[in-house]
Structure 1
Amino acid sequence: MVENGFKPALGLMFVKLEETIEFYNLYAVACGFIPRKYTQTRFRDRLIDKKSMELIGYAIDTFYEGRNHRLCSLKEREFQKNVRTLNLYMKQTIVNNCKLNIGATKTFRIMTEQSNGYANIDASLTEFKNFKRNIKCYIGDKYADMILDYLKALSESQDGFYYAYQVDEDNCLAKIFCADAQARMNYSLFGDTITFDPTYGTNKYHMAFTPFPGVDNHKKSVTFAAALVDHENDGSFIWMFMKFLDCMGNKEPQCILTDQDPAIKLRVRYVFKKARHRYCMWHIMKKLTDKVDSQIYKETDFVERICGVVWDTDLEPIEFEEKWTQVINDFELNDNTWLTYMYGKRHKWIPAYFRDLPLGCLLKTTQRSESQNSYFKRFESIDGTLVEFWLRFQSAMEQQRYNHKFLDAASDSTLPQVSSKTMIEKHASKIYTHTVFYEFQEQVQMAPCSCDIRGFSEQGNMHIINVEDAYRKHKIFQVAHNNESKETTCTCKMFERKGILCKHIIWIISGKELQSIPEQYIETRWTKKSYRKPLYGLDEKLLQDYDPTDLRKLELSRVWS
């Protein structure tokens, strides 16, 4: 019948069966009834759609007699299966919302609101769910190949994009590491201190997601690189650290902050030869309630006193040791093995032992890592595929960078409010980002009311000024000023620890009526124009040394980055 053509009762001729079925479906939609699904019947080696052909001829010929289908009213027309179809805009919306961890059900509700009601949307919730299901089915077991093909394409199309991967003994994807040019540039600018804290179970394959965050010039979190590993073991940590160094041109951070995981601390020491390894203070101090007798913890001021010693960034190592010993003796805790052990490891986590490390007290806890993990989890799903995870990770990075650009624009186009008439504060408002300026302004405001000169002496070219700090229980700090080099240092070492001048130095140099902050006391990473420091040359290599007066090279590198 198909070969000779099929002629329905309306007088139309169809050469192919598919054309007949398509016409019938369109006819059913136009007239207002739901067509039946046809079945296929096989006779030996031939496939004949016997039932559907009979149905088509019967339905069209006898439709108006009402013996085959019930007519649908206009109110019911939206429920016809042939009417409910996803258009390209709906499909694209489902995919885009997937990047934000918004499921099919919520996407459907959003689109119904945008369409002013369910009647105005040409699809049902079932179609939305089925399309999302079909995407996952299409990905299936091809997720590894799709991810690697995409990363390869990015590395070929984007200069400075770095990625690496590793497969296990079963040839399954086990590890991924990646960082684009923007992330690598951020590390060159703000990679003084990084934190490392893996988070487990970010996808249905239970791979550990590990970002490498730091602090940018607005004191916000910035991600330098990210990795996914199948296991949190020695091999995975070594692989991630080695790829991180390779990605960043073997430039180590000054300090890397982690928890006390034995596997992590051993591998940090194995891979990073120059970086100081520091333990998270918060992870240590939260164990205090379990390690100290509950009666001492609840009925005395032990916690308040020990925290006052531990978190004090102005203490010298000798001062810390004296105060710690005094607290331990006062509460008779000399036999507490945990406190004794942590005191033995004090050079790994107490701020007093990081005072001489440039920006050593910039981070004291892994809160940045935990906040980054929490931030990325908003874009993650425990049952998501790696392809979905990658899309959501990219979306999260775009949002993070948008926020950074927004703050850059605010700092470039506006000036913060200046509270004093000092030229130093006005200069700071022009060079520092808003966040850093307000910290500097706080030091300027405290200087007149908290600092008082208690002594003065000369040692060769050095002027030694003893400054009493009223806010530090009348503690004396020594400010040394070199008449030849014009350098000024303070025993509080705030500039070394945080990269911002302390109130003691501000109090001394303010009397000299300086028009601006001396250049040696301007930490580049806190300035508005820190991003103009070059990272890549045209040869795609990291620039370790450059001449700041070579404006052509500086501008070319900036544009290339």
Structure 2
Amino acid sequence: MTNKFKMPFSPFVGVNHHGQSIIFGGALLENEKEETFQWLFEHFLKCMFNKYPSAFITDQDKAMEFEAEWEVIRDKYNLENNRWIIEMFNQQGHWVKAYLKDVFFAGMTTSGRSESIYSFFDEFVNSKTMLNELVAQYDKAVESRRAVEEDEDFKTINSKAFLSSVHPIEARARECYTRKIFEIFQKEWIEANNNLTHETVSKCTEEIKYMVGQMNVDKSRWRLVSFRLKD
């Protein structure tokens, strides 16, 4: 309700290649009826040249683990005939986390990105903002987000992050990722790998032998590790 006429504002928010929140678009709505949202989604698709997003997050409660607890909750609160509960059960494939493991959400698991955008818009509009002013302020807000993205683009193009190892995987990741995304990768890389690598010395039906050590340490200091295969 970021305007004088108390019209709901509905932003479409995503994530860019730096992990930043970006604004795909936004609309002022007369109400929050089903037909209004249908109009909104249809026009959003037109603006996106009818290219559907691979995933869509809206406000729904995902606090339940699903198959094991659903009947318990339903019976506990006598919701067997509740129409909303029945409908949510029928749409489980769209909101239950277990069914969405293979969907790429770019780090988004809730509508929290939209909530942060609401706070961001508070810098540009308020409850006294007139509609003609809101459009101008919206454009300023979008320009502000684009400027932040351009700053990160500049850092990625004109600087390189330090490598924590001499492993070619990390070096390749630095070439492929933006600075911000590489920092996320590097943190996990250090925790998971710690510069360790191995080379196969010998392999037979009974045993495999490896030389294991750090990549930036002379191989004379590596250790021999044997792994016996099960019968």
Same fold (TM over 0.5): yes
Q: Which runs of 5+ in 2 are unaligned?
A: 197-214, 216-231
Offset, 1:235: 2.3
Task: Decide which of 107, 111, 128 is 1:383's aligned counterpart.
Answer: 128
1:240 maps to 2:5: no
The residue aligned with 2:97 is 351
- Figure out how many residues of one structure are paired with residues of the other and give that number: 191
1:439 maps to 2:184: yes
The residue aligned with 2:29 is 229
* Other structure's SS at 1:255 match: coil
The residue aligned with 1:218 is 18
Superposed, 1:433-472 pairs within 5 Å as: 433-448=178-193
Q: Deviations over 1:251-282 (max 9, x none)?
A: 1111111124xxxxxxxxxxxxxxxxxxxxxx
Normalization by structure 1: what TM-score? 0.31
Task: Decide which of 98, 111, 131 is 1:366's aligned counterpart.
Answer: 111
Amino acid at match of 1:336: K
1:401 maps to 2:146: yes
CA distance in structure 2 between the partners assigned to 1:379 and 1:366 by the alignment: 21
Q: 1:346 to 1:234 in 2, by over 3 A?
A: closer
Amino acid at match of 2:163: V
CA distance in structure 2 between the partners assigned to 1:430 and 1:230 by the alignment: 47
Offset, 1:409: 0.4
**Cα RMSD for the two superposed structures:** 3.2
Amino acid at match of 2:128: D
2:9/2:27 contact within 8 Å kept = yes
* Other structure's SS at 2:163 match: coil
1:411 maps to 2:156: yes
* Other structure's SS at 2:24 match: strand
Superposed, 1:532-547 pairs within 5 Å as: none
Q: Deviations over 1:316-362 (max 9, x none)?
A: xxxx85xx46xx99xx86843489959946533333211223x1464
Offset, 1:430: 2.0
Amino acid at match of 2:12: F
Amino acid at match of 2:76: N
The residue aligned with 1:252 is 52
Q: Deviations over 1:26-74 (max 9, x none)?
A: xxxxxxxxxxxxxxxxxxxxxxxxxxxxxxxxxxxxxxxxxxxxxxxxx
1:211/1:227 contact within 8 Å kept = yes
CA distance in structure 2 between the partners assigned to 1:411 and 1:445 by the alignment: 21
CA distance in structure 2 between the partners assigned to 1:219 and 1:434 by the alignment: 10
Q: Deviations over 1:432-456 (max 9, x none)?
A: 111211222133223336x9xxxxx
CA distance in structure 1 between the partners assigned to 2:192 and 2:128 by the alignment: 55
1:336 maps to 2:76: yes
| Higher RCO (CA-CA < 8 Å; seq separation 6+) | 2
Offset, 1:210: 1.2
Percent identity over paired residues = 32
The residue aligned with 1:421 is 166
Superposed, 1:174-189 pairs within 5 Å as: none
1:354/1:361 contact within 8 Å kept = no
Offset, 1:205: 1.3
2:62/2:97 contact within 8 Å kept = no
1:354/1:360 contact within 8 Å kept = no
Q: 1:339 to 1:233 in 2, by over 3 A?
A: closer
Offset, 1:415: 0.9
CA distance in structure 2 between the partners assigned to 1:231 and 1:447 by the alignment: 50
CA distance in structure 1 between the partners assigned to 2:79 and 2:106 by the alignment: 22
CA distance in structure 2 between the partners assigned to 1:421 and 1:227 by the alignment: 49
CA distance in structure 1 between the partners assigned to 2:54 and 2:110 by the alignment: 15
More helix by share: 1
Amino acid at match of 1:347: G
The residue aligned with 1:209 is 9
CA distance in structure 1 between the partners assigned to 2:186 and 2:51 by the alignment: 33
Superposed, 1:26-425 pairs within 5 Å as: 201-260=1-60, 283-285=61-63, 324=68, 335-337=75-77, 344=89, 346-357=92-103, 359-360=104-105, 362-425=107-170
CA distance in structure 2 between the partners assigned to 1:383 and 1:372 by the alignment: 19
2:8/2:29 contact within 8 Å kept = yes
Superposed, 1:513-532 pairs within 5 Å as: none
Amino acid at match of 2:10: T
Offset, 1:208: 1.4
Q: 1:372 to 1:333 in 2, by over 3 A?
A: closer
Offset, 1:408: 0.6
Amino acid at match of 2:184: E
CA distance in structure 2 between the partners assigned to 1:335 and 1:248 by the alignment: 43
Q: 1:339 to 1:428 in 2, by over 3 A?
A: farther
CA distance in structure 2 between the partners assigned to 1:239 and 1:347 by the alignment: 24
CA distance in structure 2 between the partners assigned to 1:219 and 1:210 by the alignment: 21
Q: Deviations over 1:496-538 (max 9, x none)?
A: xxxxxxxxxxxxxx9xxxxxxxxxxxxxxxxxxxxxxxxxxxx
CA distance in structure 2 between the partners assigned to 1:210 and 1:421 by the alignment: 47
